[in-house]
Amino acid sequence: MDKIEIKIVTPDSDYGRALAQALMEKEEFSSISLVEEPVEGELYEKGKSEASEPEDREYVIYLIEGRTKKKENIIYLRNRRNTDSDNEITHFYKYDSLRVLYGNILQLYGRLSGWQRTDIESFPTKILTVFSLSGGGGTTSLTLGLAQEYQRFEEKRVLYLSLEPYPETEQYFVEGSADKGLKEFLYYFTQNNQEKIHCLKPYVVADDYGVHSFFLQGLHNPLLDLTNKEWQDLLIFLSQNSFYDLILIDGSNTLSKKLSIALGLSHQVLSLIGHKTGPENMEEELLQGKGVYQKARWIFLQREPVEEVKEERDFPEERAQEEMIPYDPDSFSSGKREKKILLDGTFGLWIKELCSKLTYI
């Protein structure tokens, strides 16, 4: 979803301030301001700002009480209820509920941008995203450990996706071979060639436990070449078509628009912290902004063997629950061309316990 800037034009300053204050609670809006009159340069076609990068694009939507030129990015605030069904989105009775106005704004944004609101709770396939913005790595081991636990012991069909620039997929997924790979699948997907993407088997490989991942030809990750909308459409496509019971996304340790999209579509989120202090404010704000804070768990990475690690942290009581990955290097092995995670040791037992606590999956 792009940034949405709301600008309110009304002679009733008290109403304008009250409306702005109410809309500030909605996470989709990047800024809300009161202006005396529309800025002519901002009332351009479809309300879309000029931006050198797609992720910097912003839509300006005006809420205007009074007369002005008719433009596509205006919702008119009226003192009487609208009786014309053709204008029910762009004409709003100013004393109606905030819920109705909020819905009108999102519908207008969808009309301008092509965006469609997605109800992730209706997806037959659940999404779990693991990410780390505090450094320290470990997202791949945690994501694959969970994927293997769900596949091996809970009999779920699992797909692993990585947002790492150079994924380690080929080192973990060495069993079998795909006829094609991720590049071919994404080509057919972006061309909307349904005949070629109705079955994923030709494009995926499996690890020792049966977890699937798209086969990579080369080191570069083709997922990062998708536009943000294509990435969102891909996750929705994979989730709605019941290819798998569960998609686990290795979100890496880089804040990006694609990570933000994945978080917004996730049913459960794990934030991996590479040190023993509390999460960075940026991580909290990101999770709260995407509306998934209540579905998040904080995972701390234990870097050295200790009999007991107990840190006093000044965390608010409402924070999502915390976990600590045990120090267990014996559960990880690597050869010349492959890496393995053993699920029968300390790490595996911890993974099993963690899975039992992920109530949104």
Q: What is the pLDDT of residues 294-308, one digit of tens each?
A: 788 888 876 565 554
Q: How far is CA 287 from CA 25, 57, 262, 314, 333, in A?
A: 15, 21, 11, 19, 33
Tell me the pTM.
0.68
| Per-residue pLDDT, 3 | 76
On whether both 342 and 219 belong to a single domain, the answer is yes
For residue 340, is pLDDT > 80? yes
40 and 131 within one domain: no
Task: Compute the distance between CA of residue 88 and CA of residue 186 in angstroms, rounded to an integer.
Answer: 38
Percentage of residues in the chain with pLDDT exceeding 70? 77
pLDDT tens digit sequence for 245-284: 999 999 988 788 899 889 989 999 998 886 544 445 566 6
Pairing of strands 212-214, 204-206: antiparallel
Q: Are residues 85 and 133 in the same domain?
A: no
- Which of 86, 113, 140 represents a domain boundary (last residue)? 113
Domain boundary at 53, 88, 113, which? 113
Q: State the total domains in the chain.
A: 2
Q: Are residues 175 and 286 both part of a single domain?
A: yes
Angle, CA 52 vertex, CA 113 and CA 5 arms, to 5°: 45
Residue 307 belongs to a domain with what CATH number?
3.40.50.300
The mean predicted confidence, pLDDT, of the chain is 81
- The whole-number pLDDT of residue 254 equals 79
The answer on 210 and 153 residing in a single domain is: yes
Q: Give pLDDT, residue 52.
A: 43
Domain limits for position 216:
120-357
Residue 274 CA to residue 109 CA, distance in Å, equals: 38
134 and 15 share a domain?
A: no
Q: What is the CATH number of the domain that holds 105?
A: 3.40.50.10850
Residue that wins the pLDDT comparison between 316 and 350: 350
Please name the helix (run of DSSP H) or strand (run of DSSP E) that holds residue 18, with its range, or none: helix 13-23
For 241-250, the pLDDT digits (tens) are 889 999 999 9
Which of 325, 338, 337 is CA-nearest to residue 130?
A: 325
**Residue of 309 and 174 predicted with greater confidence:** 174
> Cα angle vertex 54, ends 260, 164, to 5°?
45
b/e string for 185-200 if b means 16 or more Cβ within 10 A?
Answer: bbebbeeeeeebbeeb
